[in-house]
Structure 1
């Protein structure tokens, strides 16, 4: 039987790491977006897409 993900059952140190990640991901995504506009490479575009997906997942508590 597969266990469902419940953020309230996580250890306190994991919750703290997640909270720090939520605070850092938006400014990092904005910086990467500006960098991608000025110096577009395929790696920058892929990294920006990954950061956007990660920011959305953290915002809506999917992770």
Structure 2
């Protein structure tokens, strides 16, 4: 069985991570998207995918 995670039950360092990185993740993702369009490499595509997942997770309160 999966354990349910609640936003208020996270450790203090996770709350601090969300508060600090939340505003910066979207601009970094946009920059990485432009860079991936101009100079596509496997690493850039994987990094862009990871950043998109991180943006979605922060936006929908999954982490």
TM above 0.5, yes or no, is yes
What is the match of residue 20 of structure 1?
20
RMSD over equivalenced CA pairs, Å: 1.6
5+ residue gaps, structure 1: none
TM-score, L = length of structure 1 = 0.82
Higher relative contact order (CA 8 A, sep 6+): 2
Q: Offset of 1:15 from its aligned partner?
A: 1.7
| 2:40 corresponds to 1:40 | yes
Q: Which structure 1 residue ranges, 4+ long, deviate > 4 Å from structure 2?
A: none
- Count of residues in Structure 1 that have an aligned counterpart in Structure 2: 63
Distance 1:14 1:49 in 2: 21
TM-score, L = length of structure 2 = 0.82
After superposing the two structures, state which structure 1 stretch, 7-16 or 32-41, moved more. 7-16
